[in-house]
Amino acid sequence: MHSNKKVFLGLENIAGIFTSLKKGFEQNGISADFYSLSEHVFGYETDKIITYSDNSFVRKFQKFFLILKLLLKYDYFIFDSTGSLLPGYKDIRIFRFFGRKAMVIFTGCDIRLPEKVEKYKWNPCRNCPDEYKKFTGCVIETKPGKIREIEKNFDILLSAEEAAGSLNNEYHAALFPVDAEKFAYTGVNPSKRLKILHAPSNPDYKGTKYIIAAIDRLKKEYDFDFKVINNVKAEELYKEIAAADLVIDQMLVGFYGLLSIESMAMGKPVVCYIREDIADHSPAEIPVINANPDNLYDVLKRILSDPSSLIETGIRSREYAEKYHNARIIAKQYYELLERN
């Protein structure tokens, strides 16, 4: 698929989505550029950093010329939900007025409303700490209004399945893309002391306390290594995943995140809570080992009693990541949606 249409990606690189999508578009022969307002905290690459003058008069001119330049250069615009270049999505309205297409990607906290997920026993909104709300920009009072405004201004909505309950308009389920070629298959070596890794972006949000409680119980019965790491750059994280035999992702969110996908791409089995209603219509071959805080101890006990079972799960995990999360395939799907709508 080669195209002379150009794709704009921006502005926040949540979970490195845009770095992977850009690669995926390029693998399809489609020109794409990722613009951001800052460098990424975990070190994901950015093509173009947008900087403005401190002088408000000059800044207005810079924004005007940037919008004009983008309008002339790009046919399709893909934004994440954190915002666009002008307040109130005025830039999106300008792009669409001139016949450009605009797509928005919701990734989780940006769209999840407590009243939609509180019917589930395990959910990340129930005891969400204030500092995490601040980090993700979650203001419960203004969130529904922001979601409606985004729905009104974009042609195509993409959302993580477990959080999409807050949308009124039609949406397409979004799976996080990874550049599958970037991850070497390292698989599992259960003949030695088993290495278990947990790498939470936020311990409260990921349910780390439940994981540590289960691990502490199991340490009395089994001999294995367990490591918790957080706030490290992507490259360091990949080294830790490569050295692990099993990765535990989260116990509250209800679906697997980027850590799980990157781990699966390396052939690592993943333990993660997948909400029952989503598990029912997820791909049949999903290799994620489903566990929640109630049964995590039993699930891990089963694994530690028969670690060789992880080898086959690791192989299936790599196949699954290549089939469903390959950036080349996902970028092609997004491009076809933009062409169609």
Q: Is the pLDDT of residue 1 over 70?
A: no
pLDDT for res 191: 78
Q: Which residue has the higher pLDDT, 24 or 130?
A: 24
pLDDT for res 40: 59
pTM of the model: 0.88
Q: Is the pLDDT of residue 136 over 90?
A: no
Domains located in the chain, CATH noted: 6-177+326-340 (3.40.50.2000), 180-324 (3.40.50.2000)
Q: Which two tokens stand for residue 315?
A: 């192989």
Nearest to 177 by CA among 44, 52, 86, 63: 44
Contact between 164 and 171 under an 8 Å Cβ cutoff? The reply is yes
Contact between 206 and 252 under an 8 Å Cβ cutoff? The reply is yes
Q: Is the pLDDT of residue 185 over 80?
A: yes
Q: How confident is the model at residue 28 (pLDDT cuts 50, 70, 90)?
A: very high
For range 6-26, the mean pLDDT: 90
Identify residue 179 by its one-letter amino acid code.
D
For range 270-281, the mean pLDDT: 89
pLDDT digits (tens, 9 = 90+) for 34-81: 998 876 555 566 678 888 889 999 999 999 999 999 999 999 999 999
